[in-house]
A and B are shown apart, each in its own frame.
Chain A
Amino acid sequence: AQKVTQAQTEISVVEKEDVTLDCVYETRDTTYYLFWYKQPPSGELVFLIRRNSFDEQNEISGRYSWNFQKSTSSFNFTITASQVVDSAVYFCALTPSSLNTNAGKSTFGDGTTLTVKP
């Protein structure tokens, strides 16, 4: 069975602060994909990043950065210089690769609600 844990239920920061959202996962599959999605108040989930289990290279995209550490089964997400528009629920997700019997069976964490105050 696979599991995605986002221990932080809610985080509140003041604009321009840096914030890190934690994601820890459990899986027996050796190949899988990890994702982060954002769900703004408008409701639609928006894709942010995808990482496969072979690629531990961390990535920076503008104010966003991701830290994938397979040794600790973590895939954390950092927003630098947060803005009010970053306020949303952020979901971490895991999807087994097509090499696995449960391929495509995505598991989402419970989400972290981020509030950025002006």
Chain B
Amino acid sequence: KAGVTQTPRYLIKTRGQQVTLSCSPISGHRSVSWYQQTPGQGLQFLFEYFSETQRNKGNFPGRFSGRQFSNSRSEMNVSTLELGDSALYLCASSLADSTYEQYFGPGTRLTVT
């Protein structure tokens, strides 16, 4: 079974730009969660999508948004990028919802200059 895939793996953007990251969950998994990982803040929950609906959202500004498609693939978008948005963005999928074990992708390393 193929694992969670994330594209792109690396991204360099300039302050003020916007970015879209993509996540393809494991086949059959209906829940996708997004996390931001930084050395200073650790792993922080961004949001969870389940059956195309945002189930919950972390404490991030409205510049961070996401969506899930009918095939469970998910995208997250960050608008008006700031230097502090530089991080590893991780996507995780789980069978039913995130109370089940999550399978993580390799992440997208975003650098904002």
Residues of A within 8 A of B (CB): 33, 35, 37, 43-47, 50, 91, 93, 95-98, 102-111
Contact = CB atoms under 8 A, between A and B. Distances in A.
A104 B101 contact: no
B97 A103 contact: yes
Contacts of A43: 88, 106-107
Contact of B98 (A46, A104, A109): A104
B102 A104 contact: no
A104 B104 contact: no
A116 B28 CA distance: 37
A104 B106 contact: no
Contacts of B50: 104
Interface pairs A-B: 4 shortest CB-CB: A108-B43, A45-B104, A47-B101, A104-B48
Contacts of A103: 55-56, 97, 99
Given A104-B50, A108-B42, A97 B99 contact: yes
Nearest to B101: A47
Contact of A106 (B42, B45, B57, B88): B45
B76 to A, nearest CB: 16
Contacts of B35: 106, 108
A98 B43 CA distance: 21
B101 to A, nearest CB: 4
B25 interface: no
A47 B50 CA distance: 20
Nearest to A106: B45
A98 B51 CA distance: 14
